[in-house]
Structure 1
Amino acid sequence: MGGKTPSVKVLDQLQERFNEIPRESLYSIYSQRIRYKYGSAGRKLTDNDYCDKLYETYKKRTFESLKNNKRRLAIIPKLAEERGLFPWMTFRAILTRFLIERAGNRTSVTKKQIQQVIKNPHLIKDVQLQLEAIHCSTQDQLQGLITDSLRHIVGKDYEQILEKELKQKDIAYIDEEAQRRMGQDVTPDFRLTVPIAVNNKPVCWIDSKALFGDSKSHKSYLDTQLLSYWNRFGPGLVIYWAGYEENIERLAPEVQVANFLPNFEHPMP
């Protein structure tokens, strides 16, 4: 399974070898491993000198391509592959340099402006970069507008599945949107009005994750989200719908881990 093997073929090979594991779990695990692999390479893009040189290479190749071809061709996907980067992260870096060049200096371009253009490529005042946005988004299976949108939709689907189960089992809750209207600055997917007991431990909130929970991702979620919920509302439960790594609950006993809504006592004794 080399680095250039198409993801679908890799997943087929993994499914054949680990046929007892659901395909969605294998995809989540595979995606995370690739993301970790490219994470260190992505740190290059925090270096201004590296990004400046990357942008100059992009401009040079674009000029040569336009001179030698009758139609515009995408440059960034190949450029990213050569440097061990995702197409979309490379596109972001090059687009940022383009906006800085047009503005005349770095301080004139804000993160908000960059993010707005990235989310709306039609706003880019450059035909080549509009083309690059389409190609990078469609060729990048782990990042980009299309992948991020699909990931968001899948996440919402699982939240709806969990919400339906909570209603069926008469578990009273406040959803994330209602929590925001109440002015809460930290918002689990579902804060329980009356705590339930899972494994004889209280659960005051439940968070849904439509992915596989390995120790690295779980540690990240603990640091950025889950322990904040615990500090504010008490012990809770995180559901990794694609399964989870054995013993990751030891990282924080205050947060229980499951891959479905487990058996519970309600109300909590």
Structure 2
Amino acid sequence: MDRVRDSSASVAGEAVELVRVCRAEYRAIGRLTERLRPTRQSIRTLQTQFPHLPPSTLLSIFSQEYQKRMKRSMVRHHAPDVVKEYYQRYRSEAKTRPAAPLLLELANQVDLSPALLARLIVECFLEERQASVASRHVLNNMLREPYLIPDLLLAKHVEQVPISFFHYFQLRRLAECVLNAIGLEHEDLLRDKLRERNLSFLDENQLRSKGYDKTPDIILEVPIAVDGHIVHWIESKASFGDDHSHHTYLNEQFWSYCNRFGPGLVIYWYGFISELDCQRDRGILLRDGFPSDIVTLCQGPARSRV
């Protein structure tokens, strides 16, 4: 693994250890995350197995891998025959073990959020009872207020789910807000680095005010050189750059930036798979922090002031 330390790259006053992970090691981390659930103990397990990686990098990798795992599984969980099987298993268990936390147990067995399983079970119950698909409004009300469910035992089991469907999406929105805040914090860090070096630039808000619809985070008014490559724009990503996310960004953002503004630099603040830095000749350079050595047209080599 190629590791880079840069104490000048910090967030909220703390030094950030910047890393690049080879694809083989990333796959090893991915295989381990397949067996883990989103708990603090899971992160401790990752830290034990990969002590040379910063906790922030491991957390970013785990979050991305868990999201991909949930997206893959959602298709399977929502297949009609699978949903019917879950409902039949629940009804069978409810007859023999009515006092047990059945939805929690079943959710753990099939690796699905208890809140989402509760939604599937209540939906099946309503379809069976009414011989029609329940409206989203009715379904969500019952999940928020289980006493509305016209089956006392099912209502009891739904009440045992620690997070209702409504609160599940509240928490998901909260998580999205946190990630957005982290992204903005790193964009502020990038702007601070540029100002430290007296580099003239336009940020995303300024570019949009000029009528640009799709822009990178930074356009340099005077290009710089990094590792012998000209850089016209910089994109900040407060995440780990894995194969899936990087190729998505390439197709949806980076290539269009190259076509419009010329070659640029992408910063993955939590590291990236080292093999992904293979598009330099086509105009995309990857780094895991702001370059400590850059060359400007007017000043020559510019070194970071730590």
User: TM-score under structure 2 normalisation?
Assistant: 0.62
Q: Which residue of structure 2 lines up, in the alignment, with residue 120 of structure 1? A: none
Name which one, 1 or 2, has greater alpha-carbon Rg.
2
Q: Does 1 or 2 have the higher relative contact order (CA < 8 Å, sep 6+)?
A: 2
Kept in 2: contact 1:203–1:235 (CA 8 A)? yes
Measured against aligned partners, the alpha-carbon deviations of 1:124-167 in whole angstroms (never above 9, x if no partner) come to 972624742214654xxxxx112111111111111111111111
Cα 1:40–1:206 change in 2 (3 A) is same
What number of residue pairs does the alignment pair up? 235
> Over residues 25-82 of structure 1, what are the superposed CA-to-partner deviations in whole Å (9 max), with x where a residue is unaligned?
01111222223333322334786x579869x95xx98xx9xxx89xxx9x6x777655
Report the Cα distance in structure 2 between the residues aligned to 1:202 and 1:181, rounded to whole angstroms: 26
1:176 to 199, 204, 228: 204
Q: Which residue, 53, 59, 65 being the options, matches 1:21?
A: 53
Partner SS for 2:225:
strand
Higher share in helix: 1
User: Equivalences for 1:224-239 in 2 at 5 Å?
Assistant: 224-239=252-267
Extract unaligned runs of 5+ from structure 2: 1-31, 127-131, 146-163, 301-306
Between the aligned partners of 1:172 and 1:79, the Cα distance in structure 2 is 57
**Which of the residues 143, 166, 170 maps onto 1:128?**
143
CA contact (8 A) 2:200 2:221 kept: yes
Q: Offset of 1:19 from its aligned partner?
A: 2.1
Residue pair 2:231, 2:263 contacting (<8 A) in 1 also = yes
- Residues 179-220 of structure 1 show CA distances to partners (whole Å, capped at 9, x for unaligned) of 112221211111111111111111111001111112232111
How high is the TM-score relative to the length of structure 1? 0.69
**Contact between 2:77 and 2:83, CA under 8 Å: does it hold in 1?**
no
What letter corresponds to residue 174 of structure 2 in structure 1? I
Pairing 1:11–2:30 present: no
Instruction: State how far apart, in whole Å, the 2-side matches of 1:89 and 1:177 are.
Output: 38
Q: What is the CA distance between 1:169 and its match in structure 2? A: 0.9
Q: Given residue 141 of structure 2, which amino acid in structure 1 is its aligned partner?
A: D
* Cα distance, 1:137–1:93 mapped onto 2, change above 3 Å: farther
Q: The residue matched to 1:126 in structure 2 has which SS? A: helix
Give the aligned partner of residue 206 of structure 1: 234
Moved more, 180-189 or 80-89: 80-89
Q: Unaligned stretches of 5+ in structure 1?
A: 104-113, 118-123, 139-143
Aligned to 1:264: 294
Alignment of 1:62-77 (within 5 A): none
Q: Is the 8 A contact 2:140 2:165 kept in 1?
A: no
Q: Which residue of 2 aligns with 1:151?
A: 179
| CA 132–212 in structure 1, closer or farther in 2 if over 3 Å, else same | same
Amino acid at match of 2:255: L
Q: Which SS does the other structure have where 1:264 is aligned?
A: strand
For 1:261 and 1:185, how far apart are their aligned partners in 2?
A: 26
Distance in 1 (CA, whole Å) between partners of 2:266 and 2:82 is 38
* Cα 1:81/1:185, change in 2 over 3 Å: farther
For residue 255 of structure 1, report the CA deviation from its aligned partner.
Answer: 0.7
Q: Which residue identity lines up with residue 49 of structure 2 in the other structure?
A: R
Q: Are 1:174 and 1:191, in contact at CA under 8 Å, matched by a contact in 2? A: yes
Matches of 2:257 and 2:67, distance apart in 1: 26
CA change 1:89–1:212 in 2 (3 A) is farther
